[in-house]
Structure 1
Amino acid sequence: MSVSRHPIALRLEQQVGSATKLLATVMVLPLVDGIFPALVVAGVLTTATGVIETGILIFGGSATAAVILAEMDGSRRQMAGSVLLIGAVIIPLAALEAAFAPTFRGFLNLPVFERFAGLVILTIAAKTASSEIGEYLPSPGVIISLGLVASFDPSGFVLRTSPEYVLNGAAAAGVGVGFALAIALLSPHLRGRVDIDRFRFGSAVALGVLALPILLGPFDLMQTDAPIALAVLGVTTLFAYDPNAGPAGASAGESASDDPDGGAGDGGATTADDEVDDDADADGGADGEGDAEQSEPPLDAPTAPGPIVDDDVAVIANGGDPSTASDDGDGTDPFADDDSRAPWL
């Protein structure tokens, strides 16, 4: 697995501490810096596509996936419990902020504010893609504050709310929590197979695509209900996922089975019989095959010459009749003095 070492993420991690707190900070951040309210006021959540795109890209996205895959430990049940606990806080807050969206829409010049909302998303996309570029860009809170000042119109201030905005806001947060929950449940399979840096860059591109219809609204460009940002994120997921890569922390047994020197014929696998044979050989050669191998001298070891004993002499030495001794069929007397085969003379 390629663990993202984005400087902004590292700085946030050092300030927050534990992985659960880091995940909560990442998912609550859109509610704190004003990104989510700006999208609600800009009318992004008026369609089902906008709700899904906002939930996945704003509350979920690469930051949430990176924290779950690279930082969180424990079982899937523990990680799912942490995500659900965070969701129990985020969803009501999102619904509460979305409830005030009609009030803000009443005293803001919406065409002007929508342009600032698009700039906020582009800023986040640039910060996500490159930390060097993000160092020169203002924070989202600064851009939203400038947008509020530039589009403020006190004549239309009326306190109002709408159940539709509340439901859409809660639904967007719920989609983000569902995205985080899916990553947590699939984390044993995704770890080591998802390139987080590649997924982060693709998420930045998807955020840029989400911002283009808002910025280009006055020019009637890219005004479509097609989920283009989700399509970009889907393609990014395909490029970032490598099914042939092994999961992180593979066991030693799996790596040993892939070792070409581990054994011939069975891929290096060791059976119980092999272990018994090895133990027997180590204890002194109790194994029959091992004893046979130990009793055989090396092929290149010198062999000591032994005495040459004739078959006829062996007959006499064992109490046999000398007359029965043969001449080996060569017509010579075995007891002749000039016989070189009589080593006793």
Structure 2
Amino acid sequence: MSVSRHPVALRLERRVGSATKLLATVMVLPLVDGIFPALVVAGVLGTATGIVETGILIFGGSATAAVILAEMDGDRKQMVTSVLVIGAVIIPLAALEAAFAPTFRGFLNLPVFERFAGLVILTIAAKTASSEIGEYLPSPGVIIALGLVASFEPAGFAIETSPEYVVNGAAAAGVGVAFALAIAMLSPHLRGRVDIDRFRFGSAVALGVLALPILLGPFDVMQTDAPIALAVLAVTTLFAYDPNAGPAVGSGSDSDSSDSGPPDSGGDADRVDGASADEDGSPAGGDGSADGELDPTDPPLDAPPTAPGRIVDDDVAVLANGGEPSTAGDDEGTDPFADDDSRAPWL
């Protein structure tokens, strides 16, 4: 499998360094740039479906899969340990940020802020799908800051908290960590069999599907509890996985069979040549001349066969005894009754 050209992972890799730090940055990024708090304030985590979709697509997603499969080295135990350490930091931070969601909801115009939250998710989806498009789009933090300014209502400011938001925030982060753990544990099997770039594009589509109900809320578009984004992600995973794309098993036997050539290709010819040639390269039964010259003592090539009369005499004797004549000495174009036998000129 070639190293994935994931735009988000490549951009962060230039700033970070090791694969473990890169994975930590990718998974902490939603907490830093304000995407996760925006989703909590927008009420996306109000259902179990929203918690699972946020955990997989925001904390997990294609960037996490790309870093684990294409960048991280080491055995399965080392990768699982790294993911657990990162999860021990992410889950408490997600719970802490979710605890302040009621406070933000108190001094924000929620219908306006929700539109900006949906716009943030669409921006992330575009950046995930194409790095060229992402260069022309503002960062998620800028969009969230604009949303805070546009929806700010200071009259409703009050510090509030709710255990429900804390539990939901921790659960969403836990789902993301569980997704990363599953990728790390299955990494020996998934490497070489998952097209990360195809999975990345499908994850971008799933993010867009997640953003549509938030962005188009006033128009009642796709207002359903059905996990449409998860269904899109499942179809994406199905198309990105190829069980036959892994390292070829038994390649040595294949190469041996291909190198050996087809059966009986040249072996019999060598044996025939060896049987019909002497060690010095001359034809078998020859006088050692290997340059193709004819021996002066050899009869000419167009000379008629010698002593056919003896064969005829033998055949006459055989016919007299009731047998069949022999054809051992008959050649095409030779007269069997030729009378050129010196032993019996009267025949």
Query: Normalization by structure 1: what TM-score?
Result: 0.76
1:304 CA displacement: 5.3
1:299 and 2:286 matched: no
Q: Deviations over 1:249-295 (max 9, x none)?
A: x67xx321222425589xxxxxxxxxxxxxxxxxxxxxxxxxxx99x
CA contact (8 A) 1:3 1:197 kept: no
Q: Which residue of 2 aligns with 1:165?
A: 165
Q: What letter matches 1:102 in structure 2?
A: P
Gaps of 5+ in 1: 266-292, 307-329, 331-345
Following the alignment from structure 2 to structure 1, what is the Cα–Cα distance between the partners of residues 7 and 225? 35
Q: Which residue of 2 aligns with 1:83?
A: 83
1:168 CA displacement: 0.4
Q: Secondary structure at the match of 2:205?
A: helix
5 Å matches for 1:13-92?
Answer: 13-92=13-92
CA contact (8 A) 2:112 2:147 kept: yes
Q: What letter matches 2:276 in structure 1?
A: L
Q: Secondary structure at the match of 1:137?
A: coil
Q: Which residue of 2 aligns with 1:256?
A: 252
Following the alignment from structure 2 to structure 1, what is the Cα–Cα distance between the partners of residues 139 and 145? 10
Gaps of 5+ in 2: 263-269, 288-313, 315-347
1:92 CA displacement: 0.3
Q: Secondary structure at the match of 2:258?
A: coil
1:206 CA displacement: 0.1
Following the alignment from structure 1 to structure 2, what is the Cα–Cα distance between the partners of residues 299 and 44? 88
1:62 CA displacement: 0.3
Q: Which residue of 2 aligns with 1:312?
A: none
CA contact (8 A) 1:203 1:233 kept: yes
1:303 CA displacement: 3.1
CA contact (8 A) 1:2 1:197 kept: no
1:83 CA displacement: 0.4
Q: Which residue of 1 aligns with 2:265?
A: none
CA RMSD, aligned part only? 2.4
Following the alignment from structure 1 to structure 2, what is the Cα–Cα distance between the partners of residues 56 and 11? 21
Q: What letter matches 1:13 in structure 2?
A: E
5 Å matches for 1:126-137?
Answer: 126-137=126-137
Q: Deviations over 1:11-69 (max 9, x none)?
A: 31121000000000000000000000000000000000000000000000000000000
Percent identity over paired residues: 84
CA contact (8 A) 2:83 2:181 kept: yes
1:188 and 2:195 matched: no
1:184 CA displacement: 0.5
Following the alignment from structure 2 to structure 1, what is the Cα–Cα distance between the partners of residues 117 and 35? 8
**Structure 1 residues 122 and 305: alpha-carbon distance in aligned structure 2, compared to 1, 3 A threshold:** closer
CA contact (8 A) 2:57 2:203 kept: yes
Q: Deviations over 1:229-256 (max 9, x none)?
A: 0000000001111111124xx67xx321
Q: What letter matches 1:299 in structure 2?
A: S
Following the alignment from structure 1 to structure 2, what is the Cα–Cα distance between the partners of residues 61 and 108? 29
Following the alignment from structure 2 to structure 1, what is the Cα–Cα distance between the partners of residues 8 and 153? 36
Following the alignment from structure 2 to structure 1, what is the Cα–Cα distance between the partners of residues 53 and 23? 19
**Structure 1 residues 8 and 45: alpha-carbon distance in aligned structure 2, compared to 1, 3 A threshold:** closer
CA contact (8 A) 2:19 2:71 kept: yes
5 Å matches for 1:1-345?
Answer: 1-247=1-247, 254-259=250-255, 260-263=257-260, 297-300=274-277, 302-303=283-284
CA contact (8 A) 1:256 1:262 kept: no
Following the alignment from structure 2 to structure 1, what is the Cα–Cα distance between the partners of residues 112 and 33? 19
CA contact (8 A) 2:62 2:199 kept: yes
Larger Rg, first or second structure (1 or 2): 2
Give the aligned length.
279
Q: Secondary structure at the match of 1:15?
A: coil
Following the alignment from structure 2 to structure 1, what is the Cα–Cα distance between the partners of residues 130 and 31? 23
Q: What letter matches 2:253 in structure 1?
A: S
Query: Normalization by structure 2: what TM-score?
Result: 0.76
**Structure 1 residues 8 and 63: alpha-carbon distance in aligned structure 2, compared to 1, 3 A threshold:** closer
